[in-house]
Structure 1
Amino acid sequence: MSADALPVPIRVLTVDDHPMVRDGIIALIDRQSDMAVVGEAVDGAEAIARFRELDPDIVLMDVQMPGMSGLEAIEAIRRIAPDARILVLTTYPGDAQAIRAMRAGAAGYLLKNCIRRELLDAIRSVHAGRRAISPDVAHDLAVHALVDPLTEREVAVLRLVAEGHANKQIGWRLDLSTDTIKAHLKTIFAKLGVDDRTHAVTVATRRGYLDR
């Protein structure tokens, strides 16, 4: 490369089911000399196809989309390319959701309300092999780091609580005794730091354990 040659830009694929979000990201990135949007996708399945076609350096991935979710797409892309660098952009600040995204293979987790302030630096960080996490999410991760997460069974119980089912109905649906459901709820309350079912659902939703 000659001294006057321009560096190769970071090639970005943006995945979001909202056109206005994609347009905003493209407008922001297009003003940068060191990066360029090379493609768009509206859901997880299209993201996988576009990744295969374009082989981007960075994938910006929404989490909640119709059809295949962002988390499923992350797992699929990482199976295709284990070194793929994926940065989640989401409206959901929950630490549990962030942990699921990281376990699926995401290298970063940003909130959409921070895009203008954090996105460009996050893209550069992830491209350089580092992680990028919004400060609010990082704070929640630190706060809950020493607390045991909810198990899959506990989340299943709480999801039925959120749907308005009584303990007896939950036990019937999960093939568990009412006493076992009560024991699960006691553990759930302790892990979430709450005293009742309504507060448990509220906190679990905020932290990303329950689908919104």
Structure 2
Amino acid sequence: MTRVVIAAGSPTVRAGLGALLAGYPGLTVLEVTGRPAGLAELAETVEADVVLLALEAGEQLPLPLGLPPDAAGREPAVVVLGDETTEGWVQRALRAGARGALPRTGSGEQIAAAVAAAAAGLVVLPAPAYQARVRPALNAAAPAQPLTPREVEVLAMLAEGHANKAIAARLAISEHTVKTHVGSVFGKLGVSTRAEAVASGVRLGLIML
């Protein structure tokens, strides 16, 4: 069960978020507070997994957002809901220690999912921030020439520790062809060793270990 504390200056917002989260299985609201600036003190007395902080229009982020760990050594995750969800605002929230930053206009499903994801150790971003920051970085890291399906197969077998001879036997191709595929993988990923190829493949999401 994910334990949640709601912090919002508006009684209406507090009541609305409390009712919203109460309707989702796996979430329980421990406390509702109207003192966003006192989150650190609250975290010392209430053992929560997530603090859901709803900011009013024009309200500044209470910095820092990182909270002290509870008696078990677990640090509560903070998810911020705000009217301003520009890339700069999201970055400030994350740098301040938030685990997630979403618009207050998000649906109940989105807010509940963000709380559950933050409790699981994930970072939650609104789609525009992802499109502006994360996706371009992933595209920039991708190889200029994509790997073929066969090359991905070979890369996956390299990750499993197979030698060229074993890969050739499993794929029913010649060992010379395997060497050609391995060389092509190295060239496309810009690496010179099998370990580097595997690490690059994992980083790019081509294979999983």
Bin the TM-score by the shorter chain: 0.5 to 0.7
Structure 1 vs Structure 2: percent identity of aligned residues? Answer: 20
| Matched-pair contact (CA < 8 Å) for 1:91–1:111 | yes
Paired with 2:93 and 2:77, the residues of 1 have a C-alpha distance of: 12
Matched, 1:70 2:74: no
Q: How does 1:57-206 map to 2 (within 5 A)?
A: 57-63=49-55, 69-75=60-66, 77-78=67-68, 83-142=75-134
CA deviation after TM superposition for structure 1 residue 55, in Å: 1.9
| TM-score, structure 1 normalization | 0.55
Q: Which amino acid aligns with 2:124?
A: A
| Matched-pair contact (CA < 8 Å) for 1:90–1:111 | yes
Runs of 4+ in 1 over 4 A off after TM superposition: 63-67, 78-82, 142-145
CA deviation after TM superposition for structure 1 residue 111, in Å: 0.7
Partner of 2:161: none
| Matched-pair contact (CA < 8 Å) for 1:61–1:70 | no
State the number of aligned residues: 136
Q: Which has the larger radius of gyration?
A: 2
Tell me which of 31, 37, 40 is aligned to 1:39.
Answer: 31
How has the CA–CA distance of structure 1 residues 31 and 143 changed in structure 2, closer, same or farther, with 3 Å as cutoff?
closer
| Matched-pair contact (CA < 8 Å) for 1:43–1:70 | no
In terms of fraction of residues, the more helix-rich structure is 1
| TM-score, structure 2 normalization | 0.56
Q: Secondary structure at the match of 1:74?
A: coil
Q: Which amino acid aligns with 1:15?
A: A
